[in-house]
């Protein structure tokens, strides 16, 4: 299985947060699965950290790409196709991070591991 992590899912995985669902935890832990982390998540984490909204990211912000690789996750760059699709997704959800993640999920044909029901409204298949 190929799956994309929502930003909160990545953070909860790294922190071993109990809010991470059992299903999401199993999918991520299964080494037969290809787990992807979007560049949008790095952008979101850095943006929120810089604004003081995510102080807990201080332990990962300086080596986020290395941490992603160390976890065995794949990096998913943002392409022009992802950006264009994000604008034309259904719904009026305005969060640019969510729109890009949803567009990547749709275009790359992989579910996104997320508690956020708004992603499904954007056309992404979510698993939680």
Closest CA relative to residue 90, chosen from 51, 118, 59, 63: 118
Residue 128, pLDDT score: 96
Tokens of 57: 């990211």
Whether residue 113 contacts residue 106, with contact meaning beta carbons closer than 8 Å, is answered with no
Tell me the CATH number for domain 2-127. 3.40.50.1010
Instruction: Assign 34 to helix, strand or coil.
Output: strand
- The answer, as to whether pTM is greater than 0.85, is yes
* pLDDT tens string 69-93: 999 999 999 999 999 999 999 988 8
Residue 94, pLDDT score: 87
Distance CA 108, CA 45 (A): 22
The contacts of residue 20 (CB under 8 Å, 6+ apart) are 9, 12, 13
* pLDDT tens string 31-58: 999 999 999 999 999 999 999 999 999 9
Domain spans in the chain, listed from the N-terminal domain onward: 2-127
Q: At what angle do helices 39-50 and 7-14 cross, to 10 degrees?
A: 80
């Amino acid at each position: 299985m190929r799956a994309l992590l929502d930003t909160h899912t990545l953070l909860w995985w790294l922190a071993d947060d109990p809010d991470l669902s059992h299903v999401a935890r199993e999918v991520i832990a299964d080494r037969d699965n290809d787990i992807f982390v979007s560049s949008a998540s790095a952008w979101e984490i850095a943006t929120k950290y810089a604004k003081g909204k995510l102080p807990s990211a201080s332990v990962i912000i300086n080596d986020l790409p290395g941490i992603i690789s160390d976890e065995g996750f794949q990096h998913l760059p943002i392409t022009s196709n992802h950006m264009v699709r994000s604008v034309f997704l259904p719904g009026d959800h305005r969060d640019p991070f969510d729109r890009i993640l949803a567009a990547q999920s749709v275009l790359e044909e992989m579910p996104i591991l997320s508690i956020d029901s708004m992603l499904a409204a954007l056309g992404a298949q979510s698993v939680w």
